[in-house]
Amino acid sequence: MFQWLSNWILDGLKHSPEILLFLSLSLGYLIGGIRIGKFQLGGVAGSLLVAVALSVFGVTVDAGVKAVLFALFIYAVGFESGPQFFRSLGVKTLREIFLALFIAVAGFITVLVLAKLFHLDKGLAAGLAAGGLTQSAIMGTASDALTQLGLSPEELSRLQGNVTIGYAVTYIFGSLGAIIVCVNILPKIMGREINDDAIQAEAEQLHGSLLLGSGQNFALSDVTGRLYRITNKVNQTVESLEKVINGISIERIKRGNRIIEAGPETILKAKDIILVVGHRDAMIKATDLLGEEVNSAQGMDVVMNTQDVEMRNTRYVGQNLTQVLSSDEVMKLKHGIYLIAVHRDGQPLPLNNDMVFKLGDIITVYGTDGDLRRVVDKIGAPITKSEKTDWIFHGLGLVVGLIIGLIVIRVSGIPITLGAGGGALLSGLLFGWYRSLHQTVGNIPTGAVQLLKDFGLAGFVAVVGLSSGLQAIDTIKDQGISLFLIGVVVTLLPMLLGIYFGKYVLGYKNSAVFAGALAGSRSANPAFGEVLNKAGNSTPTNSFAITYALANVFLTLLGPLVVAFV
């Protein structure tokens, strides 16, 4: 009975690789969450290790699954960071260029020296570079370069087979080692924690403003509501009182047991209870002028709402805040409406008198539904908050990215391409930037973005482990552990040298930004995912996106160079 049950389970697993995929994620995150001192493996690395262990079941996972998962991850990363990425481009990105170039050169020299020391042939050396540096494209460029050497068919087949062997043995630690270096070793060498530096970098980007997370609110809100019993300003109209105390609006009046609508000409009587809404500094003045504050009064609850509006009214574009607020049209409209915030390219702007409005600015206003309806159309287009994803927009974004990844440019016979990952990243950056300018399209909830990133990356590495793990284990048994250990050196040495080069020569101070750049310089997507988890925000993405694009070119060129010089 036990034998039958065991065979039934094994047979089921072989025909249902999705079970092992999700088991890899579940156990991987469980193991990755274990902390030993300050060291923590992380869910992505944990999923990779568990998947390698589960590869002994000999399952086959379609390569298309891996491609889809990675495309979802890298597109979501690009989309989230598009506005900040394009704003950060400039002279400052030179250090990312030099870091990516340094890692590529250091990787090439490391492979070359080790190949000479251990008498590796051209095929094994190229596979070593592809796996140890986790750049699969090296396999293609190296195999193509081997065909140009005029070798016999037998020798060519042997060397091209060795490319695959070298790659299979070294790729697993190539991914895992990059995670350890970026997440655990780099912060120790820098003497700074990734999360702390990510918070600091975000604060600098926001010019000292605080970015609230989901469910967070300021303890001292700028706009507040109070109830007052009129004792001082008797027999004055609502309009005249609001002019005396600039920055407030009277929303409702209770006289005896009756609720009275607060029109401009409504006259206030002694003992009227009024609901006043306004800026906190104006409310302090109101307390002294109106009378005593009342804790509560039946029927005086008014629902207030916050609405984001995309600026489309060209009448206000190019004018500063003072000019807009003092214009005749706005003076008539602004009763009961409060300007809460202005965002441009996803970043909050300081609400000072010199702030100039531009097309596409996101204006956040606060007021009753009636007041908001009166004003919103005068500003532009309301942005509807939704829990639904605009798959028309994002589906097109993924299609565009994957098509970009198909483009191949040959330089001196060497094929150069961004690949599906680079194309999806570029498309995500472009579509994220466009969404920041036109927020009425391309909606995707924050939780959905996070799911795409988490599931996309962890699922991707799990598929890699399930597909390649058994081959790597078998190859190590046949070839001995020496090739694996050589791969460890190829993975670690260029990155460690890169850390010191980045710290002392390029002048990296922020460990979150540096970790993103280092992961990108190695095309180390799993490492980048763990860096993002440690950071807690998207700060490392800008530097990663630049070095990742460059690494796809620089590292791909190593294939022909290794074949030529080994």
Global pTM? 0.62
- CB under 8 Å, gap of 24 or more: what pairs does 139-142 form? 139/163, 139/164, 139/167, 139/559, 140/415, 140/559, 141/414, 141/415, 141/556, 141/557, 141/558, 141/559, 141/560, 142/559, 142/560, 142/562, 142/563
Nearest alpha carbon to residue 456 among 61, 1, 72, 52 = 72
Which of the pair, 234 or 116, is modelled with greater confidence? 116
Report which secondary-structure segment, H or E, holds 512: helix 511-521
Strand partners, 260: 253
pLDDT of residue 161: 67
pLDDT of residue 218: 58
- Position 18 pLDDT exceeds 80: yes
**pLDDT tens track for 297-333:** 777 777 778 788 888 777 778 777 777 777 766 666 6
Rounded to an integer, what distance in angstroms lies between the CA atom of residue 72 and that of residue 85?
19
Write out 98-125 in H/E/C secondary structure: HHHHHHHHHHHHHHHHHHHHCCCCHHHH
pLDDT of residue 397: 92
pLDDT tier for residue 414 given thresholds of 50, 70 and 90: low
pLDDT of residue 12: 62
Nearest alpha carbon to residue 170 among 388, 390, 492 = 492
pLDDT of residue 341: 80
CB atoms within 10 A of CB 205: 18
pLDDT tier for residue 438 given thresholds of 50, 70 and 90: confident
- Position 519 pLDDT exceeds 70: yes
With tokens 């300007």, the residue in question is: 339
User: Counting beta carbons within 10 angstroms of the beta carbon of residue 507, is it exposed (0 to 12), middle (13 to 18) or buried (19 or more)?
Assistant: exposed
pLDDT above 70: percentage of residues in the chain: 83
Write out 514-549 in H/E/C secondary structure: HHHHHHHHCCCHHHHHHHHHHHCCCCCHHHHHHHHH
**pLDDT tens track for 25-77:** 899 888 877 876 655 666 776 787 788 788 877 777 777 787 788 788 778 87
Helix/strand/coil percentages in the chain, nearest 5 = 60, 10, 25
Q: Which regions of 212-336 does DSSP assign to beta strands (E)? A: 223-230, 248-255, 258-261, 273-279, 291-294, 305-311
- Position 210 pLDDT exceeds 60: no
Nearest alpha carbon to residue 336 among 262, 410, 430, 231 = 262
Strand partners, 267: 237
pLDDT of residue 400: 92
With tokens 């005086």, the residue in question is: 300
pLDDT tier for residue 496 given thresholds of 50, 70 and 90: very high
pLDDT of residue 517: 93
- Position 212 pLDDT exceeds 70: no
pLDDT above 90: percentage of residues in the chain: 14
pLDDT of residue 117: 92
Q: Which amino acid, 19? A: I
**pLDDT tens track for 389-409:** 889 999 999 999 889 878 877
Q: Give the neighbor-by-neighbor strand order of the sheet with 380-382.
A: 347-348, 338-344, 362-367, 305-311, 380-382
Phi, psi of 311, rounded to the nearest 5 degrees: -65, 120
Strands 248-255 and 338-344: what pairing? unpaired
- Position 2 pLDDT exceeds 60: no
Rounded to an integer, the average pLDDT of 371-389 is: 77
pLDDT tier for residue 480 given thresholds of 50, 70 and 90: low
| Least confident range of 95-109, 144-158, 169-183 | 144-158
| Terminal C-alpha separation, the chain | 57
Nearest alpha carbon to residue 132 among 145, 149, 120 = 120
- Scanning 291-390, the segments in alpha helix (DSSP H) are 321-325, 328-333, 369-379
- Position 21 pLDDT exceeds 80: yes
Greatest mean pLDDT among 108-117, 252-261, 468-477, 481-490 lies in: 108-117
Torsion 515-516-518-519 (CA) sign:
positive
The answer to whether 465 and 55 have CB atoms below 8 angstroms apart is yes
